[in-house]
A and B are shown apart, each in its own frame.
Chain A
Amino acid sequence: MAEDKFTAIIVGAGPAGSTAAYLLAEQGIDVLLIERGETPGCKNMFGGRMYSYALHRIIPEFWEEAPLERQISREVITMLDGEKSTSISCQDENWAKPPYHSFTLLRAEFDAWLAAKAEDAGAILACGIRVDDVIMEDNRIIGIRAGDDEILADVVIAADGANSIITEKAGLRSKLSPADLATGVKEVIELPAKTIEERFNLQPDTGAAHLYAGTCTQGMSGGGFLYTNKSSISLGLVIKAAELQKNQYMLVDLIEDFKNQPSIAPLISGGEVVEYSAHLVPEAGISMAPRLFSDGILVTGDAAGFCINLGYLVRGMDLAIASGEAAAMSVVEAVKKNDFSAASLGIYTDLLVKNGVWSVMEAYRRAPQMLDTERLYTSYPTLLNNLLADMFTIDGSPPINLIDKLRQEVKNSKTSFINLAGDAWKGGRSL
């Protein structure tokens, strides 16, 4: 059945899978890219921003042809506490010049474009097919099973996302833990481009990225986000799945309350919600990584846990693309040797180190534990907001100097200077 065997089968036409397919096809390697949605991207969602460097390395100046929304020139982080909020805003116009630092985008369009690039390069794209299992022979993966169909390959690349069925079926990791992932929910809210530019103080092509911590998650580990697209706003929440097990709040209530926060409501006022979506986000970093390769298989992107949340920024797509690149290069080397064993595919980890993915995962090894500190979502937003609001409030009462104010607010917020110092130290080390 030589005609039914491919050199590589890639499961999932997201950024990792399509990048790998594109690079393999460019090298003349026969590759089948399988997607369960009727078009690539129609099952995918993310917060809203992709850092450019990884894709620029693969498709130089991709922004000339890719469907993108806005280039981000302003980063805002905000601590919310009910009626109060405190923000830090950082603007750098260099971010909005080539090679653009990051873009907001929408996945239905973008993922379809990237998969089409792979197809144009010679990959076979098969949509509307759900892969149910891998085929094993003598402990090595030799293909995939979709319904009654079996398709064979020298190597399978798992690029099927955070909730990766392939990685489990291949025995590369055990069941996922709610402590390791978060659930993200998002609303896409349409507004005229001009309104967005006026409200966010933007140029026609530039955009803003906002991250929020505090009352938007009701004290649960997680946060909010807001990204400006051309004529819509991507707004949502990401909450640790283990927190959702505590049965306290419905996600739908949290996101709707988030929209009505005093610092958010005017930004989206008059907008129309055109989509509501949800997805899992790998959040435990390197500690949740499965075995990344075995005989006849490689794992990429979210399926490998290649996602970073630092509280003030979130990375996923760049790491997915870079890991797809490393996977493709590993397969190219394996083809040269005609050896698809674990020993041969093990070059994948070297390539991940070389292209930066692994060093990012290593560097932020401690970030997930740091972000589990409950105070970040409860007492600290309150403390910061009360302190600053107090500093700016003039009501005729006798003035209290800043140190005494700080002492008082630390006491009121039920934390201590020891906690503050400890958490600052932990934060500094892990970020």
Chain B
Amino acid sequence: MKKMNMQQLLACDKFEVDDEEHHIVLNKEVCRSCQAKPCIYACPAGLYTLKDGEINFDDAGCLECGTCRLICPQEGALSWHYPRGNFGVVYRYG
């Protein structure tokens, strides 16, 4: 089977995107001071990317697993909530 990339995998999933409210918000100040930045590797959806030395993040495509909340070493870097009711990923198989 040909190797799939993140975009191709996430394209298999159904999402109800919330245009009004982000459920995970980063405090860029705190992220800037973080040396480790484990979110880049640990997020199963690869939503944390490095751009010009800074964390770039978009919560569209979030699988709501909570890994980032768990592994983030910086106090106060993430304001983490589940998406509002009815929004976010919609697993059709699970």
Contacts and interface: CB of A to CB of B under 8 A. Distances in A.
A42 B90 contact: yes
A54 B1 CA distance: 38
8 contacts: A38-B86, A42-B89, A43-B89, A146-B85, A183-B44, A244-B41, A256-B4, A274-B93
A162 B66 contact: yes
Interface residues of B, number: 42
B64 interface: yes
Say whether chain B's binding surface is mostly helix, strand, loop, or mixed.
loop
A259 B1 contact: yes
A345 B82 CA distance: 29
B3 A256 contact: yes
Interface string B6-27: 1001101100100000000000
Given A247-B37, A265-B1, A181 B70 contact: yes
Interface residues of A, number: 59
A279 interface: yes
A363 interface: no
B44 A274 contact: no
A176 B67 CA distance: 11
Given A245-B73, A278-B65, A232 B93 contact: yes
Interface in B52-66: 63-66
Interface of A: 36-38, 41-46, 106-108, 111, 127-130, 132, 146-147, 162-163, 165, 176-178, 181, 183, 185, 187-188, 232, 241-242, 244-252, 256-257, 259-260, 265, 268-269, 271, 273-280
Contacts, number: 146
Contacts of A278: 44-45, 63, 65, 67
Contact of B94 (A146, A257, A277): A277
Given A244-B71, A245-B73, A275 B66 contact: no
Contacts of A248: 41
Contacts of B89: 42-43, 277
